[in-house]
Structures are given as structure tokens and as C-alpha cells.
Amino acid sequence: MTLWFNDLAVGQVLETGPREVVAADILAFAGLTGDRNQIHLDGLAHGLLVAGISSGLLFDLGHFGESTLALLELKEWKFLAPVRAGDTVRARFTVESLRPASRGDRGIVVRRVEIIDQHGTVVQDGRASLLLACRPR
């Protein structure tokens, strides 16, 4: 079920399912970005790979595929703990603020994003601002 800007409430929490980060993910990301630092080739996931995985996990929930118009900003992003090949991550998104845009058919959502490993450790934490469409009339 698609969630639109006007379906959201401050404090609302969405949690994704888990995804294992495998060595092939890490190597593919290194190849795509050209960042072949030895620590990554030895199985430590790139921080931006893990952040990207959280975006894919949210998309897999099926709530925002139709309503997301743009990612506007990532801020206060912290890489708190390493993620290695074989670790499993999931993401928790909390709606922190909602602001209708000047154009009445969309709004800006600020979400706190926490990426959590299989031990319950928050490995990344930050905020993402998105432009979301309102429910079509």
C-alpha cells in the first residue's frame, strides 16, 4: 500500500525486513565506485553501500515507490559501527517532521534513519529529507 505525504504522522515508525550483506555486494560496490581500498576487499562494507541498502529495504516495503519525488538531503549521518560480509541489516525510519510544500500537491518529510545489525547495534544513524507527493484526488 502506497503511503502519501498526507498519510504520514510525526512519530510514525516504519521498520524494514532484514538483508544479509554478502561479499559479492561489497566487491560489486567497489567495482562500481572505483573505491577498492583494501579494507573493503577484505570484507568490510562501504558505509555508503550500507546506506544505499537501507533505501532499497524501504522501497521493498512497497510504501513509497509511487509517492517519492526526490531525496532532498542527507544530514547528520553517522557511521557508528562496521558492517562486514555476512552481517544482516534492517532499517527503522521515524517521521520527525512534515511540511507542506508551497505547491499543494506535495510535502517535505524529514525521517530519522537508523540502520541496525543482527545484534541490535545501530551501525548508522542520520536524517533524510524527501519530497513526497500527496494522495491523488
> What residue segments make up the domains of the chain, in order of their start?
5-133
On average, the pLDDT of the chain sits at 96
In terms of Cα–Cα distance, which of 66, 71, 72, 64 is closest to 136? 66
Reported as half-sphere exposure (CB side, CA atoms, 13 A), residue 121 has a value of: 11
User: Which pLDDT band holds residue 137 (cuts at 50, 70, 90)?
Assistant: confident
Torsion of CA 31, 24, 88, 66, to 10 degrees: 60
Mean pLDDT, residues 19-26 taken together: 97
Model confidence pLDDT, tens digit, residues 59-86: 999 989 899 999 999 999 999 999 999 9
Q: Is the distance from CB of 93 to CB of 74 less than 8 angstroms?
A: no
User: Which pLDDT band holds residue 22 (cuts at 50, 70, 90)?
Assistant: very high
pLDDT of residue 99: 97
- Which CATH entry fits the domain spanning 5-133: 3.10.129.10, 3.40.50.10680, 3.40.50.300, 3.40.1010.20? 3.10.129.10
- Alpha-carbon span 55 to 38, nearest angstrom: 26
User: Which pLDDT band holds residue 1 (cuts at 50, 70, 90)?
Assistant: confident
pLDDT of residue 33: 96
Residue 103 pLDDT > 90: no
